[in-house]
Amino acid sequence: MSPTRGAAGGLSSARGAPAGGLSSARAGTVGNAVLAQAVKAGDDPAVLPPVGNAALAQAVQGSLPPGNYTVVVVGSPGPGELPGHAFQFADAGAQVGGAQRVWLVERTGYDRAGVDPAQIEARAGGATVLWITPERTLADRLRQFPPGSITGLHVFSHGVPGALTLRYGWPDLKDYGLSLAEARGLPPAPFTADAEVTFDSCNTGTDPSLLPGIEYGERSLAAEVADATGRPVTAWLGRTSYRQVNRGTGGVIGSEVFGGGLRPDMTEVYSSVLRQRTPRQYITAPSRSPGSWTSWFRMKARLPRTRSFPVPASGSITVTIAARSEFEPMLGARINVWLHRGDDDISKQLAIVGQESVLTWSGLEEGTYHLELFHGSGLEVEGDISVAVRAGP
């Protein structure tokens, strides 16, 4: 994973604060009213940043100050990670760069494992640390960020098909984190138009309907997050391994265990579908947008379908494509850009590789549209694409 963008000037975190309370020097930094609100909201004041009351009150009561945030989500260890790998998710999160970082950390699993929260805070390396609990969920925390402020969201945790499990595996505690329903309700507003979203958790990119007993039509968690946020999501099909993280030699990789060792109660259908799949990272693009959108693409011959988008009666769309290729013969090549309404072909225009192409369709009928891109060479082309939807006269 490449370091994500960040801007200076964000909240700084309190390094080395005691886990169980507030030091006398720290007590003078914030007011009693703010501390009372923090405790009521489920926050541990010991890991809140030493900023003025106004900014701190914003963070505790429901919103963070404006900024450009790199958000790192850290799951908690289960019994399987103890005693030697309690910090594997935090250690992986520490590899994410960015000047204005906020860590969202699942608290209760660390408490259950007997981990001192100060050890998590130390690994955050100066980032603001906010806790996730069943009462203050990941979805709740993401709603605290102001519009256009999240430039990167990077998740390190357990996962199963159809769910991110920030707390996982404790026999006396229910697993929780981010369900399909919660993912569908994530707000798009906090994310910038070019925000990077990644999940280093098992099976976040796996379609749960492949599992026995799951109703057909359920989509992967990555697909739901992509549609909700409007951003492509990089996630794993199959299991992840934190072996290199724990050894201090690298990042998260696919787990070699996934090729075998399936539970004996798995059905033959499940085994035939998944047993030979090599874990890999996969980018899931949003399938729809509520209006105008911006993204990027990569194709060798055909991009069969972009995300769909509504157009009002007599409306127009302007498509801007900046296509490029490392293959010199492709410079100047034409890309066919088809506009479709549902299953109907509307018309075709041309984009040129190596330059910015601006294409406009006007006087359109009301409906849901999408684009198809095609060129016949088979050589890889990538680029940026934006669609601006406008109402009619």
pLDDT single digits (tens) 229-287: 999 999 998 889 999 999 999 999 888 544 444 444 444 444 444 544 567 888 999 99
Q: Which domains does the chain have, with CATH numbers?
A: 24-284 (no CATH), 293-390 (2.60.120.380)
Which is nearest to 250 in space by CA: 241, 263, 239, 262? Answer: 241
What pTM did the predictor assign?
0.76
Sorting pLDDT into bands at 50, 70 and 90, what band is 379?
A: very high
Task: Please tell me whether residue 27 adopts helix, strand or coil conformation.
Answer: helix
Q: Which stretch, 15-19, 172-176, 257-261, has highest mean pLDDT? A: 172-176
Question: What one-character-per-residue DSSP string does 276-304 give?
Answer: TPPPEEEEEPPSB-SS-EEEEEEESSEE-
Q: Answer yes or no: are the C-beta atoms of 75 and 177 closer than 8 Å.
A: yes
Q: Could you give the CA distance from residue 199 to residue 281 in angstroms, rounded to a whole number?
A: 9
Percent of the chain with pLDDT over 90: 66
The answer, yes or no, to whether residue 21 has pLDDT greater than 80, is no
pLDDT digits (tens, 9 = 90+) for 95-121: 999 889 999 999 999 999 999 999 999
Average pLDDT over residues 179-184: 96
Note the pLDDT of residue 2. 35
The answer, yes or no, to whether residue 37 has pLDDT greater than 50, is no
Sorting pLDDT into bands at 50, 70 and 90, what band is 28?
A: very low
Q: What are phi and psi of 61, to 5 degrees?
A: -85, -15
Q: Answer yes or no: are the C-beta atoms of 252 and 92 closer than 8 Å.
A: yes
Q: Look at the block and give the residue holding tokens 């138009």.
A: 193
Which is nearest to 231 in space by CA: 154, 323, 294, 273? Answer: 294
Measured in residues, the chain has a length of 393
Note the pLDDT of residue 61. 53
Task: Please tell me whether residue 207 adopts helix, strand or coil conformation.
Answer: coil
Average predicted confidence (pLDDT) for the chain:
81
The answer, yes or no, to whether residue 133 has pLDDT greater than 80, is yes
Q: Identify which has the larger pLDDT, 36 or 380.
A: 380
pLDDT digits (tens, 9 = 90+) for 275-321: 445 678 889 999 999 999 999 899 999 999 999 999 999 999 999 99
The answer, yes or no, to whether residue 56 has pLDDT greater than 50, is no
Q: Print burial letters for 208-235: b (CB count within 10 Å at least 16), e (below 16).
A: bebbeeeeeebbbbbbbbbbbbbbbbbb
Angstrom distances, CA of residue 365 to CA of 283, 305, 307, 310, 314: 32, 20, 18, 10, 6
The answer, yes or no, to whether residue 20 has pLDDT greater than 70, is no
Note the pLDDT of residue 250. 93
For 33, the token pair is: 């009213």
